[in-house]
Structure 1
């Protein structure tokens, strides 16, 4: 009998963690070939091959223009936010390189087939969720599903929680899951008992993550370095990188000790910069307030107060900051639960979800109910007035899974086709809406009467994925909406990108693939299948604009990666430290020579 293994992946913005379920039904963390429990989510495009993980970061120190990091933030966009070696690459292809490396790791350890679940942020929209699935396909992972990170974390804690926490069999406990990754912060309120768990409310801030703490501390350290050693030293990229690196380590160190320091030797002079927990907390007070507002938003949506929570589960490295734990203890009156490592919870929970999929016919498994985090609606144009009509079909906060059937009346007779656009987000604000697909009902009967009804059926699963069926009543005009976002790599070149990812080709292969995408990527299909053969609907897509960034900003944006706050940190040094470049071709002004620099981050 062929063996099958349940695999869970925490595909983080900074690091990735993999878990699996052993023969006893318990989750374990899969160590990589280097014996480590996590791998940096970074990709380096060398001339001869693609490098992933720790080595990618090390090489990226010398050639940041070849490094891609923080890729998760760009899922849902057509291109990674910066050109890599002068070429624009889809973020799915870069994420696929990371997933391929993970696939090789678990294929070496386990024989037979694998059932894989990848955890994604609860605030991901359908476009970002499908982008994650596409990245897995490019990496050669076929049997894959996704789950929201808060639900995954709750499943992991449910594996370890004592019976006294859950209470009686019918009793529901309200728990807060605070997920603080490198990129974003999410707060989810869940109800939990032995029968299952349900999401009651989710709130998030996609622009608030652990990197914001690193940047805030790095700016203050850079200011002290400037005062002690002179501003010119901040123009050295090696020193600025070490300041960022020290800030990351200091943030973690201050979680368990009252102070840490950095020793900087410049020439014959030695400078010591001390960072205490009190100074750190004072500097981060504004960020803590933003986290508190996110939690308050989730509690308000769930109609709960802080003291009505039965427990708090922490996920992600930034959640271990003393200021965050003190905030939760002060507002809830209890310490956060500590049954499982916050660095492993999401991966372990994803593995348990994969195990449930693998053994769905076995002993009863806890039921999982998610929640719609983005409203879903449809839009069409009236043929006579050309007015855009819009209708919300599934509202934010709706329990998942759900199925909705609506009747739409299309004004106007003798129409040859009807175009329905599906969007996700805020119905009243166009900037907060995302087009996720179009359905084209073609070859309508010539004698179709005015105001003829259209039946629209939408299904949304617990994983947030959407399926749509539309039909003109009493006719054979039916379409099943296959939602491929208009800015993904073209279907024509999907196999090409897949071959590049699988072969671990170097930068030249990406350059050639990028040229093909630029030539053929102006019109990308939106609708893939319908009941009537016809040309797919298309949407114009603008050419990628040249990304101009100097070497120092590239270092900050990619290596750590802190592209959201790189400009603020750069402002602590003198302006125009390097000439603007496009790709890696233009000349740069050389920063001041550095005679001796020794930095000791004694943690």
Structure 2
């Protein structure tokens, strides 16, 4: 079965619009696993139908008929308490929706490999801690032990390194470091990561991105373009009808793919019995989406600036993600970098295959098997991690950065604080992500309470906060009060994520896969 001895595992690219999975064959090569329909990618779409739950192509086909029961792009809501819309009148957490996608991928993989117990799941490099933990929770709900979560650009770089032969022992050419800029434009998220590959070591130099920018936004521009033409001809807005809107998105997605290969695309859609045809040319499409492309350009330039390198220091520009196929992307990157973008790895398969290679390594580290390919990875954090304190001279709340953005992981940092008033018996610690001193401009990660401080402590009694940020971007925070033998009692509470009790409850519901209404 090609899985390292005892344990069957896969690498999963859990995408916003499409997902993919891969395994390592008996020769140590990553291979994409087709789904039950024979396709290498599965639409990340879930239909919570009256007769059951459907994931993938069939859910897409049913979407126009049962729009209020279809969940798409759940990845964009990861870390939030609920998916952006109710499904059949019910509010579901996005990780529960994602778990159905993962269950489908797991089941399809098991048809080929037998029982699957472990997986590495990829996330955008720019995902914050809440979204990362939500992804782990989705894997747990799907019945997977998540070996690790891996940044998508890092996974793509690992796949690139494998196909270039950098992981082979004795490859002296691989000893010369090369710097690779990974431009990853997926269906719903966007990342740019600059990496250095030296032999079998992959080191992230800088990363940035946008968790709500991707091919879906290009689709939306096309939807509006088509709808405006429909309005001019028929005096009705098809976007106001849920079924027509789904039909519009399907037509727009098809047109976008056609315009990747051709100069124009014929669009056919219908609205309450009225069929409509129009032709979109590539120039119209690129004009309507120029601002979106420019956002990716700015991010690309920011990453280079953060790395303190020049384009002459960058050896390759690697395109990843299905939306990177658009000709406008390649033209823009060539103009910005002065280099021809590299398409040597499949935009659809690279991330899942890199995840599978990394999963094999994690299996070996846990003593569950052996790995054909040996390599190491150093990531950085995509967001600064700070703590909210009170400025003594003004009494105002402010964010103090503890671990700066783009710090190599794992990272540990300590910062000293003091109590605010005499006889203070507890301290509320608020953890945030963000660069600004203004707490309102930062993203809350969570809170914990330092309890049971001794009575009678004077004001300004020392409290030391320790941040430990792991390689997969997960955060642990501890506190130590001066004079105490042990750290004070702490409990970390992540905002907007499922508690262990919630996970257990949802896990029981998911055992009966069609019983999602049993709330």
Q: TM-score, normalised by structure 1?
A: 0.77
Q: Match for 2:93 among 90, 106, 126?
A: 90
What is the CA-CA distance between 1:116 and the residue it aligns to?
0.9
What is the CA-CA distance between 1:476 and the residue it aligns to?
3.4
CA 1:191–1:87 in 2, change beyond 3 Å: closer, same or farther? same
Q: Match for 2:479 among 459, 465, 470?
A: 470
Whole-angstrom CA distance in 2 between matches of 1:223 and 1:459:
52
Counterpart of 2:105 in structure 1 is 102
The range that moved more, 102-111 or 315-324, is 102-111
| Structure ID, larger Rg | 1
**DSSP 3-state at the match of 2:415:** strand
**DSSP 3-state at the match of 2:8:** strand
Counterpart of 1:178 in structure 2 is 183
User: In the alignment, is residue 291 of structure 1 matched against residue 296 of structure 2?
Assistant: yes
Q: Is the 8 A contact 1:438 1:481 kept in 2?
A: no
Alignment of 1:335-484 (within 5 A): 335-360=340-365, 365-380=374-389, 388=397, 390-448=399-457, 450-479=459-488, 483-484=492-493
Q: Match for 2:203 among 191, 198, 203?
A: 198
Q: Match for 1:75 among 58, 75, 78?
A: 78
CA 1:89–1:99 in 2, change beyond 3 Å: closer, same or farther? same
What is the CA-CA distance between 1:29 and the residue it aligns to?
0.7
Counterpart of 1:594 in structure 2 is none
Counterpart of 1:280 in structure 2 is 285
**DSSP 3-state at the match of 1:248:** helix
**DSSP 3-state at the match of 2:260:** coil
CA shift digits 1:500-548 (9 cap, x unpaired): 2221124532xxx2xxxxxxxxxxxxxxxxxxxxxxxxxxxxxxxxxxx
Whole-angstrom CA distance in 1 between matches of 2:269 and 2:341:
37
Structure with higher RCO (Cα < 8 A, 6+ apart): 1
Alignment of 1:496-507 (within 5 A): 496-506=505-515
CA 1:380–1:431 in 2, change beyond 3 Å: closer, same or farther? closer
User: In the alignment, is residue 306 of structure 1 matched against residue 311 of structure 2?
Assistant: yes
Counterpart of 1:600 in structure 2 is none
What is the CA-CA distance between 1:439 and the residue it aligns to?
2.8
Counterpart of 1:543 in structure 2 is none
Q: Is the 8 A contact 2:399 2:439 kept in 1?
A: no
**DSSP 3-state at the match of 2:346:** coil
Q: Is the 8 A contact 1:5 1:21 kept in 2?
A: no
What is the CA-CA distance between 1:84 and the residue it aligns to?
1.4
Whole-angstrom CA distance in 2 between matches of 1:421 and 1:237:
41
Counterpart of 2:18 in structure 1 is 15
Q: How many residues align?
A: 507
Q: Is the 8 A contact 1:383 1:412 kept in 2?
A: no
Counterpart of 1:4 in structure 2 is 7
Structure 2 residues without counterparts, runs of 5 or longer? none
User: In the alignment, is residue 151 of structure 1 matched against residue 159 of structure 2?
Assistant: no
Whole-angstrom CA distance in 1 between matches of 2:326 and 2:183:
12
What is the CA-CA distance between 1:236 and the residue it aligns to?
6.5
Q: Is the 8 A contact 1:214 1:247 kept in 2?
A: yes
What is the CA-CA distance between 1:263 and the residue it aligns to?
5.5
CA shift digits 1:38-89 (9 cap, x unpaired): 1111122223422222222222211211111110111111111111122211
What is the CA-CA distance between 1:264 and the residue it aligns to?
7.1
Whole-angstrom CA distance in 1 between matches of 2:495 and 2:277:
53
CA 1:140–1:453 in 2, change beyond 3 Å: closer, same or farther? same
Q: Match for 1:231 among 207, 214, 235?
A: 235
**DSSP 3-state at the match of 1:478:** coil
Q: Is the 8 A contact 2:397 2:439 kept in 1?
A: no
CA 1:412–1:388 in 2, change beyond 3 Å: closer, same or farther? same
Whole-angstrom CA distance in 2 between matches of 1:230 and 1:338:
43
What is the CA-CA distance between 1:252 and the residue it aligns to?
1.2
Q: Is the 8 A contact 2:467 2:475 kept in 1?
A: yes
Q: Is the 8 A contact 1:3 1:112 kept in 2?
A: no
Q: Is the 8 A contact 2:468 2:475 kept in 1?
A: yes
Counterpart of 2:47 in structure 1 is 44
Q: Is the 8 A contact 1:6 1:352 kept in 2?
A: no
CA 1:95–1:321 in 2, change beyond 3 Å: closer, same or farther? same
What is the CA-CA distance between 1:210 and the residue it aligns to?
0.7
Q: Is the 8 A contact 1:406 1:456 kept in 2?
A: yes
CA shift digits 1:137-162 (9 cap, x unpaired): 12221243101111111011111126
Q: Is the 8 A contact 2:223 2:252 kept in 1?
A: yes
Whole-angstrom CA distance in 2 between matches of 1:12 and 1:94:
13
Counterpart of 2:265 in structure 1 is 260
Whole-angstrom CA distance in 1 between matches of 2:132 and 2:56:
23
**DSSP 3-state at the match of 2:334:** helix
Q: Is the 8 A contact 1:49 1:507 kept in 2?
A: no
